[in-house]
Amino acid sequence: MQNEDLIQKALYGLPLDTKTATDNDGGSIQKEGQTKAGFLAQIDHSFSPDGYYTEGPYYQRYAMYPFLIFALSLEHQKKDLKIFEYRDGVLLKAIDALLQQTDDDGEFFPLNDAQKGMSYYSRELQLSLALGYYYGNQDEGLLSLIQKQNRVPLTYSGWKSAIDLAKGKGKKFDKRSIYLSDGPKGEKGGIGVLRSKEHELIMKFTQHGMGHGHFDRLSYSLNYDGHEILQDYGAARYVNIHQKDGGGYLKENKTWAKQTIAHNTVVIDGQSQFDGKVKVADRIAPDEFVFSAENQKVQVVSAKENNAYEGVELFRTLALITDESFENPLVIDLYNVKLSEEAEIELPYHYHGQFMSSSIALTRNQTLSPLGKEDGYQHLWKVAEGEADQEYEQINWFDKTRFYTLNVASNKGDQLVMARLGANDPNFNLRNDPCFILKRKGQKGNNLMASVLETHGSYSTVTEASRNSYGNINSVTISFHTDEYSAISFTNKQDEEWTFIISTVDKSSQTTHEITIEDRQYKWGGPFALFRNDLKQ
């Protein structure tokens, strides 16, 4: 750090000559339009203004140590650089962004290539937490995480953290609903995290993430009390386990884990987004439409993706609803697929737990065969299938101590496919996880997939008592759908009714909207609203 020439080269880099270089997953080393190099350029291009790291939290955890240890050296030797204030303190924001992407057990959301179970207990986070506390705003919530780690780095920030803990300082770290933009200027989509009680909903609409990215735009996952309910598979890899290809990425990481069908998002005609081409996906990002978490009773995240499939416009809205009529928050899902021509629409749900029942009569296959030949379908066994014969269907499953019911506004002729992972896996590299897939013959124009997911009831293996295993929702219907608005209505067993409406073209909070549904007038301000209807009206 005493050699000024080396410091300048480290900060500002050497001449760029890597335009054609790629990593081993096909991602570009030098980004399109990149004209700067060096440490400061890495900070500029690796982190969004909110501190999101484009490869996802697993690799952000890995990257934070070299970023921060060099930043600490610069803070000591070149104080005039004010490195922890650079880009509005983006390195400190990155620490908070990383911690916000953890579940109740401290495990990082397994977005993109990620090994599940990695958490803020990792060695890389020891320095991050201490520096975040000392150079940030002395957030005592970070002290509670440092105390959980039960160790500090041998730095002044580590010493300061230990001293303050010894003085009795510290409080629970504040995990909140948060929107984290992606891209150097925050212009390339992002992720939305909605939290209510024990529920965490994560919607992903980031840029691709280079070689470690997955073809999963507009996907979402759901946690309850630290457990995955609807999961993101993560990576097909067993890090540092020699039996599994030396601990490196398995070939199934490309043939399964990265494919669209491996995620909870729409697949068109059995093909992955962008035809599975990394370079194409890297150039184009989705658009955030709405993120709103000010009202804890109605939290909404919504995004659009118009480039993943040619001639297809995808628009998904997820709402986390907390209402005293339900024992747990509900997840409303409005997923519109606008087609330029007929196509098959499939929406998979990768659930944890044991399937209980379905209102759709299922026929169990006597012999197993893969669902397809490529794009991840070759790894799914087709276990059972059935066809919807009404306009409201339910799929019910159980995990840990809770029951879950997906209440679907269906079309007659929609199909339900039960599947399980493990086909064409000769070396047993994949977990044998279950999923179900909702299939629809998409028509030219708008095709709205609408549902409400309810967490309900309980079961005790000690008392062997089951409570409210069927849930409280009684019906779900698409009550209004045009190019400008989408609305879903649902009732419970107490004959109470709710209607959720979103404008699909105007996201301004200043706009007033008014529509009529079945002789009932709805008027509201802003892009969305939830109404509790008076059925006596």
Q: Tell me the C-alpha distance between 197 and 382, whole Å.
A: 36
Buried b (16+ CB within 10 A) or exposed e, 418-456: bbbbbbebeeebbeebbbbbbbbebeeebbbbbbbbbbb
| Among the listed residues 89, 91, 87, the one whose alpha carbon sits nearest the alpha carbon of residue 66 | 91
Q: What is the CATH number of domain 4-166?
A: 1.50.10.100
In contact, 432 and 414? CB cutoff 8 Å: no
SS3 labels along 248-297: CECHHHHHHHCCHHHCCCCEECCECHHHHCHHHHHHCCCEEEEEECCCCC
| pLDDT at site 28 | 64
Q: What is the DSSP letter of 257?
A: I
- Sorted by sequence, the CB contacts under 8 Å of residue 84 that are 6+ apart come out as 71, 75, 91, 92, 131, 135
Residue ranges, CATH 1.50.10.100, the chain? 4-166
| pLDDT at site 537 | 41
The model carries a pTM of 0.94
Helix, strand, coil distribution of the chain in percent, nearest 5: 25, 35, 40
Tokens 């010894």 identify what position? 166
Q: What is the DSSP letter of 283?
A: H
Q: Which CATH number fits domain 188-533: 3.40.1400.10, 2.70.98.70, 3.30.1370.60, 1.10.1380.10?
A: 2.70.98.70
- Sorted by sequence, the CB contacts under 8 Å of residue 366 that are 6+ apart come out as none
| Helix or strand (DSSP H, E) at 384 | strand 380-387
Mean per-residue pLDDT over the chain, rounded: 95
- Where in the sequence numbering do the catalytic residues fall? 59, 212
Q: What is the DSSP letter of 482?
A: -
In contact, 346 and 438? CB cutoff 8 Å: yes
Residue ranges, CATH 2.70.98.70, the chain? 188-533
Cα atoms in the Cβ-side hemisphere of radius 13 Å centred on 304:
12
In contact, 463 and 282? CB cutoff 8 Å: no
| pLDDT at site 14 | 82
Looking at this protein, which amino acid is placed at residue 394? Q
| Among the listed residues 441, 270, 438, the one whose alpha carbon sits nearest the alpha carbon of residue 341 | 441
Determine the 3-state secondary structure of 226 from DSSP: coil
pLDDT in tens, the chain (537 residues): 778 888 888 899 887 666 666 766 666 666 666 568 899 999 999 999 999 999 999 999 999 999 999 999 999 999 999 999 999 999 999 999 999 999 999 999 999 999 999 999 999 999 999 999 999 989 999 999 999 999 999 999 999 999 999 999 999 999 999 999 999 999 999 999 999 989 999 999 999 999 999 999 999 999 999 999 999 999 999 999 999 999 999 999 999 999 999 999 999 999 999 999 999 999 999 999 999 999 999 999 999 999 999 999 999 999 999 999 999 999 999 999 999 999 999 999 999 999 999 999 999 999 999 999 999 999 999 999 999 999 999 999 999 999 999 999 999 999 999 999 999 999 999 999 999 999 999 999 999 999 999 999 999 999 999 999 999 999 999 999 999 999 999 999 999 999 999 999 999 999 999 999 999 999 999 999 999 987 654
Q: Tell me the C-alpha distance between 374 and 510, whole Å.
A: 47
Q: Per residue in 87-140, pLDDT tens?
A: 999 999 999 999 999 999 999 999 999 999 999 999 999 999 999 999 998 999
Q: Tell me the C-alpha distance between 330 and 224, whole Å.
A: 12
